[in-house]
Amino acid sequence: MENKLNIAIYPGSFDPITNGHLDIISRSSKLFDKVIIGISKSSNSKDYLFSDEERLQLASNSTKHIDNVEPIVFDGLLVDFALKNNINVIIRGLRAFSDFESEFQMSLMNRKLNSEITTIFMMPHEKYTHISSSIVKEVFSLEGDISDYVSDPVLKALNLKYEK
Ligand code: ADP
């Protein structure tokens, strides 16, 4: 049998990383030799609340306990990045039916661009199916409690960002 490492990439904005993302990362880390958290580079600094470096640091600080996970910032076409780095799997999270249509389109397009790379969808624990980085930021900015939905480093970073 061919002895090839299975390296997966979990791409996204991670602005910031939430416990929903971390649930998918933890599940994936048990299935693949290595999981790369692919943080999409900001094309315009106003796009995101957190900078590339901050999103990278938060992903790294939130996954310290998992050995085979490595966050990186990437730019350009995902399948090209995957090909150059021997990545053969793309992981995406599915929260609800509403995620399905755009994910379906994207995965078929990626397969057309590179048929060697397979997209796998994973569902988080049901306690995270209703959360997104956007809703976490919105509730936090209105002074709601989001401590069940983000790691301690992310909570601290949000406090600093909003100067609470
Ligand atoms: P994008 O901008 O690509 O949607 P996100 O950072 O929002 O980036 O999400 C990255 C991936 O994580 C996507 O596949 C998204 O569906 C998934 N995801 C986001 N939030 C959750 C969650 N609460 N549970 C499971 N998967 C999630």
Residue 97: pLDDT band (50, 70, 90) is confident
Mean pLDDT of the residues in the chain = 94
Q: What is the pLDDT of residues 38-82, one digit of tens each?
A: 999 998 766 899 999 999 999 999 999 999 999 999 999 999 999
DSSP-based three-state secondary structure for 152 = helix
Which residue is listed with tokens 């755009």? 102
% of the chain with per-residue pLDDT over 90: 90
pLDDT at 46: 64
The Cα 18–Cα 25 span in angstroms is 11
The Cα 73–Cα 59 span in angstroms is 10
Catalytic residues: 21, 46, 95, 133
User: Residues near ligand 1 with C-beta < 6 Å?
Assistant: 12-14, 18, 20-21, 24, 92-93, 95, 99, 124, 128, 131-133
Counting atoms of ligand 1 from 1, which one is nearest the CA of 130?
23
pLDDT at 1: 58
Estimate to the nearest angstrom the gap between the alpha carbon of 8 and the chain centroid: 12
Query: Would you list the domain boundaries of the chain?
Result: 7-161
Task: Judge: domain 7-161, CATH 3.40.50.620.
Answer: yes
Pairing between strand 69-74 and 7-12? unpaired
Cβ(124)–Cβ(93) below 8 Å: yes
